[in-house]
Homo-oligomer: A and B are copies of this chain.
Amino acid sequence: MARLEERPRELRRGTILLRENDPFSELYVLQRGMAMSYVLLDDGSRQILRFLFPGDMLAVSALVYRDSPETIVTLTDCTVCPFDRSVIGALITDHPRLSAIIMVVNQIEKVALTDRLAALGRTSAKARIAALLLEIRNRMRMTDKTIGNAFTLKLTQEEVGDATGLTAVHVNRMLRQLEEDGLIARDNGRVTLTNEAQLARAANYINRFDGLDLRWLPAAR
């Protein structure tokens, strides 16, 4: 695993690491910072697919597709570690336990995607935004234990909208409502979850890093 993190590269906030439909063959591990991936539809609207945090692998679809199905852009200054996809081939051959773990992570991400699918298909604007806030806070806390109920949402309201399938205007209205309901407090970009239990209820939120069962994993070679 350490070998993947050899050649770190620093990126400024707002750097496009990969553009939709561009050809590519490199993968990355995100070591520091926050990024996102999105697609643009042909009416010009944007759907944010995923937020990316330290430890996440970026551009994994390079394993499969000639051209990128998504754009990846940094939301803060970031450190990434590029590696060639042939490394994955070698890893699968030589490190069964590690490749099993990659499959597990993939599976978790897939379930998280289906959660968002259900949120977009079947929940209200308020619930989707509540879920987003919880998700971001939880992901941030995984790499920064000092984060409690308050954190800086590094997203514009337009980005929140593009992630939740809403307009920036309506995001603003819902944030205000969540505040009036006493579920969150806001101060500039800083959000405090003042009633996390009720927020989680409003959001239908399930933390997919809980409830794992990994006894079947093969031993390390």
Contacts and interface: CB of A to CB of B under 8 A. Distances in A.
Nearest to A166: B121
Interface in A106-161: 106-111, 113-114, 116-118, 120-123
Nearest to A24: B213
Given A63-B103, A89-B100, A110-B113, 20 more contacts: A39-B114, A41-B123, A41-B204, A42-B204, A45-B122, A49-B114, A63-B107, A64-B107, A64-B108, A64-B111, A64-B212, A64-B214, A65-B212, A69-B208, A70-B114, A86-B216, A90-B218, A96-B99, A113-B113, A120-B121
Contacts of A88: 100, 216
29 contacts: A39-B118, A41-B123, A41-B204, A46-B122, A47-B117, A47-B122, A61-B111, A63-B103, A63-B216, A64-B213, A65-B212, A65-B213, A66-B211, A66-B213, A69-B114, A85-B216, A88-B100, A88-B216, A89-B216, A92-B92, A92-B99, A92-B218, A99-B99, A103-B103, A106-B110, A113-B117, A116-B117, A120-B120, A121-B165
Nearest to A120: B120
B39 A218 contact: no
Nearest to A121: B165
Contacts of A208: 69
Q: How many identical chains are in the complex?
A: 2
A67 interface: yes
Interface in A62-78: 63-67, 69-70
